Structure 1
Amino acid sequence: MHPVELLELVIVCGTLLVTLLISFILKGKWRKIIQGLALLFLVSFVIFYFVRPYWIDMQIEKKVGYIQIYLEERYPVETWEYRTVPHREDGYESSNPYHIGVIFDTEPQVEYKYFARNKGDVIQLGWSTSELQSDSNNLMHLEVLED
């Protein structure tokens, strides 16, 4: 379990415990109202916890589509493949699932990282290579940020 997930669980359990303790102090209809709110809070967290991976998958699909449009406009004669973070697998918790890797067929040893906020806002975050010696001057698809 990733430390962020552990922190989320601690916060939710703490909030739920405090809410239930407050409900036991109160009497009558207030006790039932507070316990109902605690139950609603618990159910909403469980739904959020199980829906979140699917939501991330949908967002990644949408962002890959934005990057596809951007790359088709910028490099019309190129072909490429995408590499996404397998965010549901162990060991990838610290990787941002919204950073999409692109490997161009003309430059297979270099992976460029892209991020898309929306359809018109796609940026190249960086690059990585498997070669020992790399020179950024020789990269064909390196995009320089303009001020």
Structure 2
Amino acid sequence: MGTGEIRSHINVVYRCTYHVVWCPKYRRKVIVGDVDTRLQQIIREACAERDAPIVELETMPDHVHLLVSCDPQYGIHRLVKGVKGRSSRLLRQELPSLKSRMPMLWTNSYFVATVGGATLEVIKEYVENQRNV
């Protein structure tokens, strides 16, 4: 799925793609090996359950990049909260060494930015020129 695909759900038509980045607590480099493999699987499952198509997913030892489309009625905050909560719980259950090292897997914070096909200047000009049409 590209970032430009228009989607619809009941009473809303949208094209909302977000770039989300989050880190393990204390920016520890724990996203390696089995943790990395299982984390990506959990993220894909959680997003699929919420009909939030993943455009791109990349993990680094100390952070995660997720490019995802999300229904605005559900909200990106709820999606990220669900993904982080589920992945922390499952990873710490399945990999006891991770649980003993980190009582909490993720920091409370994350970065999110919208991704679109047009620049802010182009959209601003479009809105300003609507009265002239």
State the TM-score, normalizing by the size of structure 2: 0.31
Higher strand share: 2
TM-score normalised over the length of structure 1: 0.29
Q: Which has the higher contact order (CA 8 A, sep 6+)?
A: 2
